Each structure stands twice: as structure tokens, then as C-alpha cells.
Amino acid sequence: MNITIDPPPVASALSFVQRSTSSAWATYLSQIDRVTPYLGKLAPLAETLRRPKRALIVDVPIERDDGSFAHFEGYRVQHSLSRGPGKGGVRFHPNVSLEEVMALAGWMTIKNAAINLPFGGAKGGVRIEPRLYSKKELERVTRRYTSEIGVIIGPQQDIAAPDVNTDAQVMAWMMDTYDMNTGLASTGVVTGKPIHLGGSLGRKKATGRGVFVMGCETMRRLGMPLEGARVAVQGFGNVGSVAAELFAAAGAKVVAVQDVDATVFNASGLDVVALAADARAQGEIAGFSGGEAITREAFWEVGCDVLIPAAMEGAIDAARAKKIAARLILEGANGPTLPEADDVFAARGIVVVPDVLCNAGGVTVSYFEWVQDFASFFWTEEQINARLAKIILDALDHVWRKAEELKLPLRTAAFVVACERVLIAHVERGLYP
Ligand code: GLU
């Protein structure tokens, strides 16, 4: 019998508190280190933020289309449930590991608290290169993974959503599997579902829209004109492509776009609508005729005013931070900037709107979807977009004022606001037993 283990296993965290030198989890822990001195009486409790509440590792075996078997490793981490049920996406990617999912779950705790959504933080993932598997195989991976994590998820326990390489279809399979296993007809166990299955209008574009809304407001505050502003976007998936289209439609010039395979540049502005159509048709931007192909590294030196990293964590190290020409960084991805790059940006006076604010539009509309599912009463897209803008701009304003008061970069200020909220909830609940 042919059994494949693909991609091969990687060394994972042996314990929650083990700190490897360069990983998303190390970045997260260093961000917690940086905020701790500003937490006053709550500072000794920050240890709880350094330890996920619960982490589940599952084997995901499937029968392949050719009759052979394959195994994958899957994870669901509930970092904190102090402020409400766990909430966070599920990603399919060959680099998924326990440490990565721990970091992403930690960032969800901070994000949900910074925006003041009534959720804790969670994240899931399967280590798989989805491009190598058929749709039917991915359905089997999704269903078996959902079944295995079924013991800890649920509409009042932990709610999943799309993330890298997962979409509304994957959420439909997750919901159906959960409902089959529980005998319930509950829609609120996942968000980002298809509209016909209880999904919310505006959810698909919400993360990219949030980046745009946050970007416009920050530019206004910094006195940067939107008209003609040069924007560079790394990552052209659901976040980067939507943000690029909204910026272009508002009069900005998207001068460079990078996806997994290629980088295209046009100093007088790319036709983003045509580029997105190409990307949808071919699954990549390589070969786009409306721009010049440049090297991957040259992307970071492109003349631009706004840079949107909207791909993966760890994209910007100190060396890249020194080259970047932008005055404003809008983090569409989770964890794209390493702590030493944050220091370079701070020294150079470059403003970073951190992931936990900048890409929170997605989980904010996930919250709306969850609320609509419970009420079985659905809102219009106008209502959703207006409520989205109000909630995230209020959060930005709150963090901005905290940053001015404490003379901190926006990231640390967002962590101060969020960690205070999480730790106060932690204290009010008390320790059991
Ligand atoms: N995966 C998205 C994020 O990282 C959305 C999470 C959600 O909607 O729960 O924020």
C-alpha cells in the first residue's frame, strides 16, 4: 500500500514556552515582551499571553483519487478564551506548523481585543501544498480535519473562517461536516461561508476593504494625499487584490504587485482590474503585459508612498526595512514585519498600521456574520460596510490616542489596548479552581 507523507514533517515546538530564534511565534513573544512594561499592575499576568490555552494536533489521513493514502498534520490552537469563544481562520499551506498556528492564534487574541469584538483568539491549519491536490481530495482533507478538531469547535466555543488558501467552499465543507457529526443545523460554527448557507454580504472583500479604510484614514492623519499616491502590494490574494483595486479606484497609483511567482512594476500605475482578471483566469500574475517583470528583491526598493505586505509572516526583516521607500506600511498579512524591522521603521519615521488593526476588517465582518446567523436576520451590504468602517476607525482612533499618550509605535499601542482588555477579563473571571 502506498502511503505518502507530503510535505515531510518539520520540527515543531516541544513546549509552549520554547522559543526558536526565527519564527512567527518568536515574533509574537517579542511583541508581548515589548508591551509588558506598559501594562502596569497587569504586567505580571502577561505570562498567560505567552501560553496558548489549548493546542490540538491531529492526523488527517485521506484516500487519494488514485486509491493510495496520504497523511497530513492539522492543528487548532485556542490561544485565549477569556473574552469569548475562540475565533480565527484555518490555513492550508506547506509551512504550517504548531509554532506558526500558535502565533497566528495569539495575534487573533490581540486583534479581536484591539477591535473590541467579543471573542478570544484561535487559529487552525493543515500542512499541505493545496496546489498538488484535486478539489475532491481537498474536500476529504477538510472534512477529516474538521471531524478531528470537532471536539473543541462550535458556534459558542470556537469559530473558524477562511485564511491563506481556504475560501467559502472550504467553510461550507467544514460547516456541513460539523452539522453531520453533531446532528445540529448550526451555521455559526464557521464564518466566511457562501451567502446561501448563512454567509454575510461583504465578508469576502472585508479584509481588503479594511486595509483600504484604515489606509485612507491614516493618510489623512499624516497629511498624505490619496490622489496619485504610489502604492506597492506584496501578495495578490483575497486581501492584496481587493486593497489594490480599492486604492486604484480612489485615485492612487498601484506601481508594483508581487505574488508567489512574479513581480510586476509600472511607474505610471498598473491596470489593477486587468491584473486581477488575469490572476483569476491563470491563478498568477506572471506574464502580465501591462507592466515590467522585476526581481523579487527589487520589489522592496520600488519608489512608493504606501507599502502593503499582504502575503505571509516574516516578509520584512531589518535589511528590507532599510530599503523600503514608503512612508506608510499597511499590514494586510498577519505578522509580516519582524521586531528588528519595526525598530528600523521607528528610527526612520515610517508609520506602520499593524496587522491587528489593519487586517481586522475580515474578522469584524465575521463577527457580523456570526451575529446575523444567531438572529437569522440578514443585513444589507451598505449596513455591513458602514458598520465595518465605524468599528475599525473607532479602534484606530483609540489606539492612535494611546500611541500619542505613551509615545509608542501603533503596534505596541494596539498591544497595550488589547492586552489590558484580555488581562482584565482574565482577572475578572478568576483562576479555576
Ligand atoms: N483569517 C482572517 C484573519 O487572520 C479572518 C479570521 C476570521 O474571520 O475569523 O484575521
Atom of ligand 1 nearest to the CA of 91: 1
Confidence (pLDDT) at 47 = 94
Atom of ligand 1 nearest to the CA of 366: 8
pTM value? Answer: 0.96
Q: Whose CA is nearest to atom 7 of ligand 1?
A: 363
Using pLDDT thresholds of 50, 70 and 90, give the confidence band for residue 283: confident
Q: What are phi and psi of 210, to 5 degrees?
A: -60, -40
Residues in Cβ contact with 209 at an 8 Å cutoff, skipping those fewer than 6 apart:
202, 242, 243, 246, 361, 385, 388
Atom of ligand 1 nearest to the CA of 163: 1
On the CB side of 232, CA atoms within 13 Å amount to 26
Mean of pLDDT over the chain? 95
Spatial distance between the Cα atoms of 100 and 186, rounded to a whole number of angstroms = 29
Ligand 1 mutation pick, 207, 238, 313, max ligand atoms within 8 A of CB: 207
- In the structure grid, which three cell numbers stand for residue 325, read together? 521607500
Spatial distance between the Cα atoms of 221 and 404, rounded to a whole number of angstroms = 13
Confidence (pLDDT) at 231 = 98
On the CB side of 408, CA atoms within 13 Å amount to 22
Confidence (pLDDT) at 385 = 98
Maximum distance among all Cα pairs of the chain, rounded to whole angstroms: 65
Atom of ligand 1 nearest to the CA of 363: 8
Atom of ligand 1 nearest to the CA of 191: 8
Does residue 346 register a pLDDT over 80?
A: yes
Distance 347 CA to ligand 1 centre (A): 31
Using pLDDT thresholds of 50, 70 and 90, give the confidence band for residue 20: low
Confidence (pLDDT) at 211 = 98
- Cα radius of gyration (the chain): 21
Distance 429 CA to ligand 1 centre (A): 26
Using pLDDT thresholds of 50, 70 and 90, give the confidence band for residue 194: very high
Confidence (pLDDT) at 284 = 86
Q: Whose CA is nearest to atom 9 of ligand 1?
A: 88
**Of the listed 87, 123, 204, 402, which one is catalytic?**
123
Does residue 162 register a pLDDT over 60?
A: yes
Spatial distance between the Cα atoms of 278 and 172, rounded to a whole number of angstroms = 27
Spatial distance between the Cα atoms of 123 and 89, rounded to a whole number of angstroms = 5
Spatial distance between the Cα atoms of 204 and 161, rounded to a whole number of angstroms = 11
Using pLDDT thresholds of 50, 70 and 90, give the confidence band for residue 11: low
Spatial distance between the Cα atoms of 67 and 160, rounded to a whole number of angstroms = 30
Confidence (pLDDT) at 282 = 86
Q: Among 198, 160, 172, which Cα is nearest to 363's?
A: 160
Domain ranges of the chain: 3-32+51-197
Distance 319 CA to ligand 1 centre (A): 29
Distance 207 CA to ligand 1 centre (A): 8
- Across the beta sheet with 230-234, the strand order is 292-293, 263-265, 253-258, 230-234, 306-309, 328-330, 351-353
Per-residue CA distances from 332 to 44, 160, 185, 213, 353 (Å): 31, 19, 33, 12, 9
Clarify whether 123 is annotated catalytic. Answer: yes
Distance 342 CA to ligand 1 centre (A): 23
Spatial distance between the Cα atoms of 89 and 85, rounded to a whole number of angstroms = 13
Distance 108 CA to ligand 1 centre (A): 8
Residue-wise pLDDT tens digits, 390-416: 999 999 999 999 999 999 999 999 999
Does residue 12 register a pLDDT over 60?
A: no
Atom of ligand 1 nearest to the CA of 164: 1
Ligand 1 neighbours by CB, cut-off 6 Å: 87-89, 161, 163, 191, 334, 359, 362-363, 366
Q: CATH fold of 3-32+51-197, please?
A: Rossmann fold (3.40.50)
In the chain, % of residues over pLDDT 90: 92
Distance 365 CA to ligand 1 centre (A): 9
Ligand 1 mutation pick, 355, 366, 370, 371, max ligand atoms within 8 A of CB: 366
Using pLDDT thresholds of 50, 70 and 90, give the confidence band for residue 1: low
Ligand 1 mutation pick, 193, 363, 368, 372, max ligand atoms within 8 A of CB: 363
Q: Whose CA is nearest to atom 8 of ligand 1?
A: 363
Does residue 246 register a pLDDT over 80?
A: yes
